[in-house]
């Protein structure tokens, strides 16, 4: 029983940095955010390998090519601009 508890505790402890490292778009009511705007992401546009979250309630317009992202979670809305843009993921 103690071994299972220790394993669970280690799993949770090791998983926390992964959760907090995701770059999350700002939540705004009714305002569409631009992917290319650093303010959308808290000061820095997602770089190669970034884990990105578009949270519920947020709408992000993909108006530029992305770097090769590590992960992308879309809980809100991601719209593509009426332009030739590319959403890239790491292989």
**pLDDT tens, N- to C-terminus, the chain (91 residues):** 455 554 644 454 444 443 335 777 776 666 899 999 999 999 999 999 999 999 999 999 999 999 999 999 999 999 999 999 999 988 7
Q: Tell whether pTM > 0.85.
A: no
3-state secondary structure string across the chain: CHHHHHHHHHHHHHHHHHHHCCEECCCCCCCEEECCCHHHHCCCCCCCCCEEEECCCCEEEECCCCCCECEEEECCEEEECCCCCCCCECC
């Amino acid at each position: 029983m103690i071994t299972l508890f220790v394993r669970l505790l280690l799993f949770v402890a090791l998983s926390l940095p992964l959760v907090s490292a995701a770059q999350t778009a700002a939540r705004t009511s009714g305002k569409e955010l631009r992917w290319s705007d650093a303010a959308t992401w808290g000061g820095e546009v997602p770089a190669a390998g970034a884990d990105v979250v578009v949270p519920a309630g947020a709408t992000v317009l993909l108006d530029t090519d992305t770097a090769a992202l590590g992960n992308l979670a879309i809980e809100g809305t991601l719209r593509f601009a009426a332009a030739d843009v590319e959403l890239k993921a790491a292989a």
